[in-house]
Chains A and B, each alone.
Chain A
């Protein structure tokens, strides 16, 4: 959208393998500040693992990730040392992560969920943290629910709470791992709306999703992944209307056939 904005995330030659084979092969791409990028692709294509590598929940096998001023590099076969782990830790501070299953802390209220990390990680006082948490809880539209326990919230409310919890750490980038997949269809909209609002405010966001309509409408870029590779990396409308690669075409055709409401 803003072609003149400077790159915020630069990923080069990222590789990741598990016991059962190589999941990510030689991934490289760049995201500019304020962009909203959607990652789509068939199940098992490595898109979730990719997202988890960006905040170091999975440590890549080799490659380099730069987020703002922090660069994590790993040569093939390099054993992680204290310095690398420290870099991962600093990188996480720039990144907020939202999970498919919310992963709220069940033993704490919504307010305490949001307050915890600012207090523990940033050393904020209880009052400061409460003020900050209240601000973000209001922002995601959960003002009346601050003292509720996660078990009493709906899926949509839980996911918005999880977004507030991540935002309270003041991240430069927000990552979403299939944020609406666990939700009932009528609750999907409220979560997507929060992401749209954040985009309008200039937050940089990467979303792994199956919501094709949202991906197409809201994204600056769509990344199509298959078999551990980035197949295409395009503006939303261009990718949907003029896919260059056969694999992209096959995926989209299949998807449109099974989800007629996405057809344009």
Chain B
């Protein structure tokens, strides 16, 4: 067992070693946060080369960084958590279609708007009745969860609102007839359905949206620098160029920048996107695409394994400590351990992860996403492992204690030499089974910015509009990762069954009661 732990530890260290970033370059870093999952056209993996992050905001950040002579470093975070991530110093600026609203401005500072847009209503090609937002009354309309557009629909009244987390799903449901209208920010609408022959855009621009770059309140100098860069990019025409290339130059923007000249740049980026998404791909093309994303899945699988193994090592060690405390320590310590176990088992692991990652920094305890995930899962699973160990300890007959003590061993020696080695054999199969379930639960770390298998699946699927193929791929990878442990659990179970014949003598009495009697 000791050897096995060492091997696991070595593997974990090896894994963590190889993802450490190379030492920092001399250039100052511009650390920026965004969410690339379903993030088109803001930021998303290039369908032709999934390793590359593209998007009009990526272009803007690169231009800003180049103007400020800084090196852009991208940090992925869930869109809902972009602003909390800013305040916990994961990155220094956040950009991802963040609207400048009074609510947001209470928490963070914004740059001057870099893009101004509106909401676009979309309906099916054959739709005759819905031409304006008001026409949605009595119909089903889809939009983004907790967004400005959802609020607009609510104000109309009488609309059956369906909210979505992934934009692409809304337009799929619109085409399939599950909803009758879709209301989104214009860039999203354009990139989701602008090329879809079954969908048309109707009505005038709705509302007024201003995108700004978010920064922490105290970073006044950074705000000045960013604003300076944006003014330069606007006046030099570089911003306009980006918007032209992404087909995002609209009358609204012409008015905003007071630039009514015709476009000089072809919308190449938009055309590429539309090309990739318009017709249904041939089977051959799909396979090629899956092959192309395999390295990405491979890296994600390593991240998943690292987090899982590190978490399991923490769980096994802390679980043993908790179990021994609960069974043998003084009443006070034992009840503390019990409180820990019951609290951790009685609350959702998702909340524990959020608490560790976003809650603890406010009292000065800060972990990297990796360690927050590993520690969070480890602390959680320790409670379950403790109960497994406890049942293992109780499974050793009391007479084994008596034999060891009668030979002159101390309680600790008896524990170490006689009881634990037998108990560990008993608990290996259930602990291995727990590891398999931890491997699956590790998908939760994707919500605290780790790019693991689950997150990668989301990113790739959203980029390709394809949840089926990558879904099967990612399922197979999880299965393959867990398989060796399934086999190991079965093997140890068999060995245990053979050894169980040995302990046919002796009464299986509660060792807690009997061991306190020795005192």
Chain A, Cβ-Cβ closest to B418: A105
Please determine whether B402 and A121 come into contact, CB atoms closer than 8 angstroms: no
Interface 1/0 per residue, B497-519 and A, CB below 8 Å: 00101110110000000000111
Select A107's contact among B402, B406, B425, beta carbons within 8 Å: B425
Given A106-B422, A150-B502, also A80-B408 (CB < 8 A): no
In the complex, what residues of A have CB within 8 A of residue B405's CB?
A: 57, 92
Chain A: which residue is nearest B400 at the CB level? A103
Chain A nearest CB: distance from B405 CB in Å? 6
B503 and chain A: residue at smallest CB distance: A106
Which A residues lie within 8 Å of B517 (CB)? 58-59
> Is A28 part of the contact surface with B, judged by Cβ < 8 Å?
no
**Which residue of chain B has the shortest Cβ distance to A98 in the bound complex?**
B406
Q: Given contacts A103-B402, A165-B407, are A120 and B413 in contact (CB under 8 A)? A: yes
Of B402, B410, B501, which one neighbours A151 at CB under 8 angstroms? B501
The CA-CA distance from A167 to B475 in the complex, in Å, is 59
> Does A166 reach chain B (CB closer than 8 Å)?
yes
Q: Within B459-510, which residues are at the interface with A (CB < 8 Å)?
A: 499, 501-503, 505-506
Q: Please measure, in the bound complex, the distance between the C-alpha atom of A107 and the C-alpha atom of B403, giving whole angstroms.
A: 14
Whether B400 and A97, one on each chain, are in contact in the complex, defined by CB atoms closer than 8 angstroms, is: no
Whether A255 sits at the interface, judged by CB under 8 Å, is no
CA distance A101 to B503 in the complex (A): 10
B407: which A residues are within 8 A, CB to CB?
92, 97, 116-117, 121, 165-166, 169
Contact A102 B505, beta carbon cutoff 8 Å: yes
Proximity string of chain A (162-180) to chain B, C-beta cutoff 8 Å, 1 when within and 0 when not: 1001100100000000000
A231 at the interface (CB under 8 A from B): no
Q: Does A182 contact B (CB under 8 A)?
A: yes
Smallest CB gap from B405: residue in A: A57
A24 to chain B, nearest CB (A): 15
Interface of chain B: mostly helix, strand, loop or mixed: helix
- Contact of A103 with B413 at beta-carbon distance under 8 Å, contacts A58-B517, A80-B519, A121-B408 already known: no
Q: Does A89 contact B (CB under 8 A)?
A: yes
- Chain A CB within 10 Å, residue with most, of B404, B407, B518, B519: B407
Asked if A103 and B421 sit within 8 Å, CB to CB, the answer is no
CB distance from B231 to the nearest CB of A (A): 75
Query: Are A57's CB and B518's CB within 8 A?
Result: yes
Interface 1/0 per residue, B383-416 and A, CB below 8 Å: 0000000000000000110111111111001000
Give every chain A residue within 8 A of B506 (Cβ-Cβ): 101, 103
Q: Which residue of B lies closest to A94 (CB)?
A: B408
For the complex, is B417 an interface residue (Cβ under 8 Å from A)?
yes
Q: Across the interface, which residues of A come within 8 angstroms of B410, CB to CB? A: 89
B499→A107 contact, CB < 8 A = yes
Residue in contact with A103 in the complex, picked from B403, B408, B499, B519, CB distance below 8 Å:
B403
- Least CB separation from A119: chain B residue: B417
- What chain B residues lie within 8 Å of A97 (beta carbons)? 402-403, 406-407
Task: State whether the Cβ of A188 lies closer than 8 Å to any Cβ in chain B.
Answer: no
A85 at the interface (CB under 8 A from B): yes
Q: Check if A205 is an interface residue, CB within 8 A of chain B.
A: no
**Cβ of A89: which chain B residues have Cβ within 8 Å of it?**
408, 410
Q: Mark B279-293, 1 if CB is under 8 A from A, else 0.
A: 000000000000000
> What's the nearest-Cβ distance from chain A to residue B222, in Å?
63
A166 to B407, CA, bound (A): 7
Task: Find the A residue at minimum CB distance from B507.
Answer: A101
Q: Cβ of A92: which chain B residues have Cβ within 8 Å of it?
A: 405-408
Q: A89-B408, A105-B418, A120-B417 are in contact. Are A99 and B502 (CB under 8 A)?
A: no
CB-CB under 8 A for A101 and B413, given A93-B408, A106-B422, A151-B502: no
Listed by A's residue number, 25 A-B pairs whose Cβ atoms lie within 8 Å are: A57-B402, A57-B406, A59-B517, A92-B406, A95-B406, A97-B402, A97-B406, A101-B399, A103-B403, A105-B400, A105-B418, A106-B502, A107-B421, A107-B422, A107-B502, A117-B407, A120-B413, A121-B408, A121-B409, A150-B502, A151-B499, A151-B501, A151-B502, A165-B407, A166-B406
4 closest Cβ pairs, A-B complex: A106-B502, A103-B403, A97-B406, A117-B407
Interface of A with B (CB < 8 Å)?
55, 57-59, 80, 85, 89, 92-93, 95-97, 99, 101-107, 116-117, 120-121, 149-151, 162, 165-166, 169, 182
Given contacts A99-B402, A120-B417, 14 further A-B contacts (CB under 8 A): A57-B518, A85-B519, A97-B407, A99-B406, A101-B505, A103-B399, A104-B403, A105-B418, A106-B422, A107-B499, A150-B502, A162-B403, A166-B406, A166-B407
